[in-house]
Structure formats: C-alpha cells, structure tokens
Structure 1
C-alpha cells in the first residue's frame, strides 16, 4: 500500500507543476441560445485524442502535433458538428462551437435525464470494440438513481433491471450474488463478471465466483448483456456483467471528491477520489474504507479498496494505459440459522469464530491503436493475484460450537489473460456495415487447500496447528478463444447480426483429495480438453426513431468447474461421468421510449440448459442419505421480462414548476423447470423411482417484481421502492419442509421496501440519506450448505444511512 500511495503522490506532483502548453485548440461549446454545454465530447477524428467540455462549456486539447485535423463535437440531444483546421508549431487556436438541437433526440433523452428518467438505459448498437445490436441489454447509470451505494445495496441498484434475482445474505456489501432466468445467484457465477472490460473472477472457465465487487461509489455504469453476449465475451449462460468505473475527468486538470457515510450498527464509509487530464496524460485514483458491526450479531466487517489508472497518448494513433486495483477484506460471518431460530430472532448468531477474507490484486494494461479512421485495435492484458481464506466451525448449525480447533480453508489464485480486438466498418451495397473480431488467451491456476486444523481462538487467524492440509488440490485451466461477428445494415430500419466463437479449454486437476488416518488419498491426475463452436444470430427493426423490435439466438456452454469436481464434505459423492453443460438463449422483444415521458423494454425469453449440473439427495441401500452431484438432465427457463418508466406530469401537463414524478415497474415471470430425469432411492428396503420432470429449478422464484416512484424537483430527488419476490426451492427435489440443519426446504416469498433521497447544491455539495427495509421485514433468500452458513442466511432488517459528499 505504501508503494501505491507513493505512485499517486508522484503523479499528483507531476501534474501540479504543469506542462508547457505548446500546440493546442481551445474554446467554448454553446447551444443555439449561446448557453454553455457541459459534458460535450470533443475529439480529433481518426486519433485517440479527445476531451469533454467543463461545466462552463470550455474545452482544451493540448500537445497536438502540427498538421491538419478534423475536430468533431457531439452530445446527446444535439447534431454532431465537424470542422477542419490546421495547426502550426507552438500555435494556440481559439474556436467556439455552436451546436444545434436535434428536437426528437433532445426531447427523448435530455428531458428524460433532467426529470430523473435516465437511470436505466440501453447500450449503443455499435461501440468501439463490440456489437450490442439485437441483444437484450441494460445500462444502469448509478449517478442517476437514489440508492445506498456505500453498502452496494444490490436490491436498489438492480431495481429497474427486470428478472434479476439476488442473494441478500451479505450485509457488508462485499460480495454480489445476482442471476437471471432461473440461474444460480451464487456469487454471480453464471455471469461473465468483468470490470472495465476485463475479468475479475478467479477463473471464468474453472471457478467463476465473483469474490470481488468494486465500490459502487466509483462505478459509473453497470452493463448487462444477457446470454446473447456469449460470442464476444465467453460462453456463460447468464451473459456479461461489466462494472465500468469512473474514467479520468477529461474536462479538467484536477478534480477531487470525498463521500462519507455513517449509518446503523456502526457503519462508517469514506470514499476519496481524484482525477483529471493534462495534455497527453489522464489519471484517476480512489480509496475507500468501510467498516461496521453488521445488522446481525457477529457480523463485523472491515474493507479497504484502492484503485489507480493512468493513460498516455503516445501519438495521435496510439494510447496506452495501466490500472491497478487492490482490495482487502476482513469479515466476521454470523453463520446460518435453523428455521426455529430464524422465527425467534433473525438477527441472532450462534457462530462467533467464523471469519472470511479475500485479498485481491488486479493489474491490467490497455492499448488502443487507430489503424485508419474506420479500423481500430484494442489490446488488454490483465491478471489477478488473489486469495479466498476462511476459518471457523463449519459443522451443521444444529451442532453447538465446541470451541475447539477451527477448520481452515484457503484458495490461492494466479491468473493471466489477454484479449486482442479489432473493430472496423466497411461499405457494401450502398450501406455501412460493422465487423468486430477478437482473440483471447487465458491461463489460470487455483491452489486449493481445505480442512486444515486451525487454532481454537476467536480472531481471524489462518495459521495451522498441523503441518499440512488434508485436501491439497491444484487446478490449471488454459483457454484459447476467437470470435468474429458482423452487423449488416440491410436497410435504414433493419439490421442483422451474425457471428461465431471458437473455444478451446484444457483443464487439469491433481493433488490430494483427502487424508485418512494420516494417509493421503492421491488423485489420479485428470485432464479434460474440449474444443467447440458457438453460433449466434440477431436483428433489430426500427419501427420509429426511438423504438425497435429485437431478437437474438445464441448458443451457450458451461464447463465443469473445480467446485463441481471437489465435494464440500466427505459424505458427498461426485458422478465420475460428470459432463459439461450446453444450451442456448433466445430473446424477442420491443423497446424504446415515447417522447420524454415513457421508457420501456418488454421481451420473451427461452433458455435451454442441457446436462445441468446440480446436487440431489439420494438414499443408499443401507438407508443412509447422501448428496450426489451429477448432471440433472435438461432445464428449460422461459418467461417475460419487462421494464416501464412513466412520467405522468410530463405526459399530461408538460412543464411543471413543482417538480416531476415518475413511476417505474420491473416485472419478470420466470418458469424454470427440469425436464425428464429419473432418480432412484431406497425406502424401507424398497427401490423407489421418481422423476424430476416438472420440478422447479432451485433458487429460481417465478415472480421477480419491483415497483418504485421518484419525485424530483431541481436538485432534490426521493425514491420509494417495493420488491415483491416469489417463493423458491433450495434443491432440485423441491423439498417444502425444511430439514433439521435448514439446508433444504422452501424459501418463502417476501416483500421489502426502501426509501432514499438526495440533494445536490451547486454541483459541489451533496447530501443523501435513506432507510433500507423500511418495514423491518424478516426474510431470507438463501439456504446455504457451507460457507457462509450452513443454514438459513437472513437478509438485513431495517437500517439507516446518511452520506455527505464534496467535490472540488
């Protein structure tokens, strides 16, 4: 950490002494009434150079080599302007630029933003290095929503995103567990989780659990592309979940912000940020400290997050940059509860010695190169040096902690990856078309050490009292992938996309599975190699300038993971013939906005998940019951996802001097069921056959509805939200009655409310406050078989927070 802070101080000192302003162009961006336009994009066409206008409309591009250029200025709601200029050595050009409003887009977007309807959007059809057209996608703009960002409150953050199911068992906000379409929310592992476009999980193909989540106070956008993203980002069924961090401020040399939050149960969070642009350099850095005692007993948490980014325009065509992200967590885990304990008091805890820690370091390099005005290259190199550490008493929640030696489990992750992408446009039959292609290399190593004998203390201590771990496994994963996808602009209204992805995965596992009476049970090294192709087709038809029909079909694939191959307990049994899962996603929908008062997206989806891996309870011939992990056949998820946001005052009255109210609803009906799968058990000496056909997929509520209302008046806004979530089952057998250890049984339906408000003064000072779980509802979303349980994992009750922010 000292090195990290030293680098930041050095960069700040460098920028404080300034750079010699040689060649440059500066001026003001104005609208037709000659009012300044803040946030307009100002770029040199065909180069990597660009800035934004500041709050007063000023812009400045420095250190431009002598020559001829085209300057392009664009902003949502205005027609883009381009003009040519020539600059000489040591010349400063003054140029004010007048933008003309595009009335339709101005009404559709700028007014929606000013009246608080800009929190949920969608991605552009084509960006620099990806094609989004024809895909079900969402763009969550965190600055535009009222939410408890200090605690990463996922219920509020994803409130407008239809069909997102959430595991709310981590009140500290450290780990995020989300899914959609009947998939498992376990640390978001059915999504390809990324930050700024690169992987942040231990291994997307071997262990994709998202232990790291960036602080939402620094996240500018969350990008979600459903399963149709598998061609460009990997074969996961859930699709892409990408956290886009706030980039260096391109409108100023230096800006700083501090956000400080206090709340219930000793919550304290401080977030501090700097960033700016100086000539060919831009930089940003943040540090967040968050700690609290948690709503439940034994729920203490203490986290540190730090991030640094710097970029340099080597010349007009090449820009390089680096990012470094560090996280350290110290979390006391209250453990699970039985159903009886939950009914008595969901905030209680019978585990006081369970701790969890995930040190995480993510370095990355990035390079953008402009081959020509229509062709660009991007190279990302990234990696991780990380750990997953736990210590505690992990027997069934029905057993009292004997205060003896605790169990220690430790994973060490070392990964390296690189992605090269090419984006180009070309003319054909009188239309401009877009092509994106890429190559990916990824190498991951997981050193898994489990069932170590720790001390009998109460603090977070991962030292062993014995020399080795009874289970010591090495898992290596090698992944090569290449893809190509093309967007064809067939007509002015119709576009089609088509693509293919080739994957090669080689996995190897070796080591000691168990140690019995001091004798290690050495695994026969196992290597799995597979090569496969994924195909995808999609399209959009623009009914109007702001509404469109869209559809997509894309194949998906889920390789066997290390967690599938290693049982969590000695009594568990792994199917020796465990196979990879495969299937596809299909979407058909209608989305867009009507004027400035209605934003909507409604779609039908169908997801086929063949050879789905899961755990089922079996009964042996001697009557003993055991957990059997196998392919549970095929599951089918189908249903409807819909989002609508409506501003009745703008629709019926127009302008209002008393503010605006907008109502939103995020609705999803998810019917996720198993198909034909015969299972055999023994009861009273008799062989009993049954079938999973028609059983609902575990952890998949059929109803995921969230409703809300926001009132906005100038710089004040307040949002009320209601989450109405249906019941779910915790296992594939659809057990309703809970077992004694509370690891199986029904997960009841629940409703929970949140209220948040914010006020900004002169764009520099901000005050936010809110109450989460307004009615203090007692509910849970998960029954855990191991960490962080076992048992019922209660969600937090009523909590309060207040945030004070300052920008300068």
Structure 2
C-alpha cells in the first residue's frame, strides 16, 4: 500500500511540474497517461451521506456491476446476491416487478419495503396501497442504498427497511455522451438500453430509454416493457442546484396462470391461461432542490407526483379449471376487468448540519414530509370473451371505490460523537395518518363509508464503536410501523364487517453487529437481529346477535422474526499480494430467520384457527448464496 501512495504522489508531482513548464514555455496541453486504481469499494453506507445519517445502522451499498448481476434481464436475485437475508420472488422471470422482502416481511411487489428512486418514493400509494408497480431498468442504476429496519425514523413506514435506487449521473467532462447496449437471449428475449448525458454550461443532463420483450419461459407468458427517464440539473453556483426529473415505466404481461402441486410436478412449464393480461403504467415527475448554506449545513427539498394505473383482464377460476369454450355460449367465458388509477403528491424537506457541543462534534438531520395519495379502484367488471388484451366492459364494475390517505410526519436524528471512536445516535419521528374510503360494493345493501385518523410517535437510538481503523461494532433499536392497507378495511360483501378500531401494525427492530476488514484479505459483516410485529391484519369468523356468521376484518395476532445475517468475502490474490493487478474474490451470504407467530388466530374454512407457532408467510428459515468475482 505504501508503494501505491508513492506511485500516486509521483504522478501528481510530475503532472504539476509538467503543467508549470507548459505554462512558462508554451500554451500547449501535455496529456499524461491515465492512472488506474484498483481497490474494492465499501460494502456499507458511510455515517453521513448527503442529508442522511446512517451511523449505527445495518446498511448495504450495492453497485450495479454487469459482471456480478444480470442487469439487462433486471434480475433482482443477482443484483442483491451479496445482501444476506434478502428474499427475492422472481414472479415473472422477466424483471418486470421488484419483489423483495427480509426478516419476515411480505415480498409481493416489495409491499413492506420503502422503495425510493433518487430519494423519493415510487410505491403506488405509500400509505394505503404501497405495492411497487414502477421498476427502472437495472442498467440505469449507479448504486443501491439499503437500510434495514432502522430506517423507520428518517424514511417512515414499512418494517422491511428502505431501498434507494440512485440513477446514473452524466459524465460532466463532456457536452454529449452516448451509451447503448443490446442484449438477446432465450425465448426471443431482447433488451435495448440507450442513454445520453453530458454538461453544457451550468446545465447537466441524463436520459435513457429501455425496451424489453420476450416470450417467457412458459407458453403464454410474453411481455413488452418500456421505461423512460430524464434528469435536467441546473447548477446555480457552488452552493445551489435545481433538478427536474421524469420517470415512466409500463408493460403488458401475459399471465400463464397458476399450477397445483400435481400439475407442477407433471409439467412445470405448462400454461393454464392464455387470455390473462396485466398492465401497469406509472409516471413520476419530480423536482429536487439542493442548497449548501455552509460547509456544515445543507438543505434538500424534494417534491414529486405519481400518477398512473394498473389494469388486468383475466379469466378467474382455480388452476384445475381450464379456460375453454363454453358449450352453452359457444364462446369463451367473459373475463374479469380490474383497474386502479393512482394519483399522489409528496414533498419532503431535509436539513443536515454539523455543530459542536463543547468538544463534542455532532451531526443533526431533521425534516418533514407531507403525502396525499388517492386511488380510484374499479373491480369485478365483466369483460369481453376475446383472447387479446382488452379492457372493454360488457357489464359495469361490481366494485367502485375512492380511497384516500394523507400522511404528515416530522423527524430528527442526531449523532453525538462521545469520543473519536464511540458515537450515539438517538432519533424521533412523529406520524399522522388520515384514511378515507367511499364507494359502492354491489352485493352490499349500504355504501362503503370509512374514515379514520391516527397519530403517534416513534423512537429509536443507534450505537457505534470503532474497534480498529477498519472494523466497528454497531447496534440499533428503532420502533417501526406499517399502516393498514385499504384492503384491510374494505368489506368485500354484505357478510363482511370491518373493525372500527383497526390498528396499524407496530413493533420494533433491533440489530447488533460487527463489520469491517481484516488486512487486505477478509471482509465481513455479521449481525443478529430481532423484529417484533404487533397487530398484523387479517380475517376472523364471528357471529352476530342473531347467530349469523360474518367475516371480521381486524388485527389477528403478533409475530416475531429473529436470527443472524452474515456476509464474508475472501480476496484470494490481492489479499496476499496487494500489488497484483487482478484478483479473485470468494463471497458468501448466509442468513437464518426464525419467523413465527406468537399469538392470534385466523379464519380457516369458517373456523378461527390458532396461529401460534406457525411460520410467517414467505419467510424461509435459511438462505445462502455463494459466488466468485474476477477483477
């Protein structure tokens, strides 16, 4: 390493001397050979980054490296391969949806994860329906910031933590640059990623267009995906900048239908549906303002809107019922049409400042958030008997609802550096939520009219101790919550009753770990965790005063997830020969998650069955991934 610094110093001095000589004897520019520095990048977020504090938290940085991940295919399993404990559901095999979960959280469209792009949310309705229908092409990603359960104080709801996809920045040394990558694969897969970027005066820009098509691995699983993005940034001066961004993703996906276990064992590639289609289209315009008041104080204000829809047309029946011509109608059966229309606005302001209390250097981040989201939900419409994607109605929707959620929050977190090695980071967040639902369910005698307001604080603290220059202990305890979604308080029919005192799911997340690097050969991050989920929503069976059975939408029980997460990496060449120009790295990610219900019951065929001891849905006990990287 000393030789490396000597070499770098020699290059710098030589450049300086050459530049001086050029200025005194000639105006010509002398171009030096490039210097290539090969070194591994950090696996964890720094204590402070931008307006965010990450000290004492379990974090990961994921770099979008085409040598490590299938970026053209948007394969999340390979992108997150070095993150222990993450559970990836490859729902479609084409990378159209991002389905991730961890520590007992639901991975379906990342519904229990706070998903962001460039710092702002991309969930369709961040409070009432937080599924993530938007998905950018992974080739556009510069890096991914991942914070586990301790993200609740700075970023808000969801037990699954916060994932922030940072889109690439332009090469500001050029006025124009172009990037194009064309990829083909099996089953007529084709992906075309094209991007431009550069800087002209005070204006920098970056934009991309991505198109992905294919037939899918199963019959009747074709897809057609498009994504667009543009970022124009104006740099006022060295202190302030204003960015205008627009993102869109849309696709049409043919759904081959589900299989029973017996059907899967007989032929896992078979199709049970060919007339089922799914189409989401999401638009996200955003404005980002950054201003540095001083080297110690900086402000960021983001405002973004999300508008779009998700639509589906499907023949709805169990997997063992074939979609064939109805002998009475002499046509196929009519399909069901379901549509959601989303419209939301969110603004967040974050201020970070460094200050001293006596000899103690401290860092404070504080801010507020306002979000107003609405969903117009139309379901159970009677569609055509056709075979193509067609949302035409033959009979009107059976469900027509207006759903709205307003969320406001304020937070503060502060790093107190007690010594040059030990720091404490307490924090607090105050949340307010207002949910309203109005509309018609056709098999109910009365209209749906639901309204509920609630507010509450969240507290947490983090600890960090620098054991050596390259290793540190970290720990965190943070309260967390997940607002109940619209479906949890929407009656499906006349026999369904909604608990008027439905509660948000609340709990906490605790981490304790040790991470760092031993010499040049071994990198590690090993931690234990404990997550408590209270008031999980579900359905019970109850009887009214007349003895009639009803389905009761309420909180059904509590659950816990506890375990270990371990990342280890061994440098097989450069760890023992730092001057080597190449390296082979062997990594392993191992996680054990014991996720179980500790109380409660749920409706099962008209009987309330105990949940105690049962596994949390979609939570494997063990996950393990191993790989080799050649540099």
> Is contact 2:539–2:602 with CA below 8 Å preserved after alignment?
no
Match of 1:311 among 224, 233, 236: 233
Match of 1:378 in 2: 300
- Is 2:224 aligned against 1:302? yes
- Is 2:626 aligned against 1:707? yes
Match of 2:347 among 418, 432, 435: 418
Secondary structure at the aligned position of 2:288 is classed as strand
Secondary structure at the aligned position of 1:611 is classed as strand
CA distance in 2, matches of 1:637, 1:176: 22
CA distance in 2, matches of 1:257, 1:465: 47
Match of 1:123 in 2: 45
Match of 1:442 in 2: 371
Match of 2:471 in 1: 547
CA distance in 2, matches of 1:254, 1:541: 45
When residues 441 and 458 of structure 1 are mapped into structure 2, their CA distance, relative to the original with a 3 A threshold, is same
CA distance in 2, matches of 1:655, 1:401: 64
CA distance in 2, matches of 1:226, 1:568: 34
CA distance in 2, matches of 1:618, 1:173: 42
CA distance in 1, matches of 2:198, 2:603: 64
- Is 2:599 aligned against 1:671? no
Q: How does 1:128-527 map to 2 (within 5 A)?
A: 128-143=50-65, 145-402=67-324, 403-466=332-395, 468-513=396-441, 515-516=442-443, 521-527=445-451
Secondary structure at the aligned position of 1:310 is classed as strand
CA distance in 1, matches of 2:495, 2:593: 34
Deviation at 1:618, TM superposition (A): 9.7
Match of 2:24 in 1: none
Match of 2:453 in 1: 529
Secondary structure at the aligned position of 1:550 is classed as strand
When residues 309 and 568 of structure 1 are mapped into structure 2, their CA distance, relative to the original with a 3 A threshold, is farther
CA distance in 2, matches of 1:96, 1:311: 30
Where does the alignment leave 5 or more consecutive residues of structure 2 unmatched?
Answer: 1-6, 17-26, 325-331
Match of 1:692 among 608, 611, 629: 611
Match of 1:800 in 2: none
CA distance in 2, matches of 1:625, 1:663: 58
> Is contact 2:123–2:134 with CA below 8 Å preserved after alignment?
yes
Match of 1:31 in 2: 8
When residues 203 and 678 of structure 1 are mapped into structure 2, their CA distance, relative to the original with a 3 A threshold, is closer
Q: Deviations over 1:604-642 (max 9, x none)?
A: 00000011124579999xxx9998654221101100011
CA distance in 1, matches of 2:558, 2:465: 33
Deviation at 1:400, TM superposition (A): 2.2
Secondary structure at the aligned position of 1:459 is classed as coil
Deviation at 1:291, TM superposition (A): 0.3
Match of 2:19 in 1: none
When residues 678 and 273 of structure 1 are mapped into structure 2, their CA distance, relative to the original with a 3 A threshold, is closer
Q: How many positions carry a matched residue from both structures?
A: 607
CA distance in 2, matches of 1:379, 1:708: 40
Q: Deviations over 1:567-610 (max 9, x none)?
A: 67888775555321100000000011123222110000000001
Deviation at 1:242, TM superposition (A): 1.0
Deviation at 1:203, TM superposition (A): 1.4
Q: Deviations over 1:304-354 (max 9, x none)?
A: 111000011123332111000112211111110111110111111110000
> Is contact 1:112–1:596 with CA below 8 Å preserved after alignment?
no
Q: How does 1:556-571 map to 2 (within 5 A)?
A: 556-566=480-490
> Is contact 1:406–1:456 with CA below 8 Å preserved after alignment?
yes
Deviation at 1:129, TM superposition (A): 0.5
When residues 235 and 679 of structure 1 are mapped into structure 2, their CA distance, relative to the original with a 3 A threshold, is closer
CA distance in 2, matches of 1:328, 1:681: 37
Secondary structure at the aligned position of 1:343 is classed as helix
When residues 498 and 681 of structure 1 are mapped into structure 2, their CA distance, relative to the original with a 3 A threshold, is closer
> Is contact 2:69–2:79 with CA below 8 Å preserved after alignment?
yes
CA distance in 2, matches of 1:681, 1:310: 54
> Is contact 1:112–1:597 with CA below 8 Å preserved after alignment?
no
> Is contact 2:141–2:167 with CA below 8 Å preserved after alignment?
yes
Q: Which moved more, 1:441-450 or 1:703-712?
A: 703-712
> Is contact 2:596–2:616 with CA below 8 Å preserved after alignment?
yes
> Is contact 1:618–1:680 with CA below 8 Å preserved after alignment?
no
Secondary structure at the aligned position of 1:228 is classed as helix
Match of 1:661 in 2: 584
Match of 1:745 in 2: none
Q: Deviations over 1:498-523 (max 9, x none)?
A: 1110111001001012x14xxx6443
- The CA RMSD measured in Å over matched residues stands at 3.1
When residues 256 and 36 of structure 1 are mapped into structure 2, their CA distance, relative to the original with a 3 A threshold, is farther
CA distance in 2, matches of 1:123, 1:233: 16
Structure 2-normalised TM-score?
Answer: 0.90
> Is contact 1:644–1:664 with CA below 8 Å preserved after alignment?
yes
Secondary structure at the aligned position of 1:604 is classed as strand
Secondary structure at the aligned position of 1:342 is classed as helix
Secondary structure at the aligned position of 1:231 is classed as helix
CA distance in 2, matches of 1:181, 1:135: 15
CA distance in 2, matches of 1:295, 1:157: 21
Q: How does 1:101-116 map to 2 (within 5 A)?
A: 111-113=38-40
> Is contact 2:538–2:602 with CA below 8 Å preserved after alignment?
no
> Is contact 1:406–1:454 with CA below 8 Å preserved after alignment?
yes
> Is contact 1:248–1:275 with CA below 8 Å preserved after alignment?
yes
> Is contact 1:511–1:522 with CA below 8 Å preserved after alignment?
no
Q: Deviations over 1:25-57 (max 9, x none)?
A: xxxxx93131799xxxxxxxxxxxxxxxxxx99
Q: How does 1:567-606 map to 2 (within 5 A)?
A: 577-606=501-530
Match of 1:758 in 2: none
Where does the alignment leave 5 or more consecutive residues of structure 1 unmatched?
Answer: 1-29, 38-55, 58-91, 713-808
> Is contact 1:421–1:438 with CA below 8 Å preserved after alignment?
yes
When residues 355 and 524 of structure 1 are mapped into structure 2, their CA distance, relative to the original with a 3 A threshold, is closer
CA distance in 1, matches of 2:268, 2:13: 54
> Is contact 1:192–1:233 with CA below 8 Å preserved after alignment?
yes
When residues 705 and 630 of structure 1 are mapped into structure 2, their CA distance, relative to the original with a 3 A threshold, is farther
Match of 1:87 in 2: none
> Is contact 1:324–1:364 with CA below 8 Å preserved after alignment?
yes
> Is contact 1:618–1:681 with CA below 8 Å preserved after alignment?
no
CA distance in 1, matches of 2:392, 2:376: 17
When residues 521 and 408 of structure 1 are mapped into structure 2, their CA distance, relative to the original with a 3 A threshold, is farther
Structure 1-normalised TM-score?
Answer: 0.71
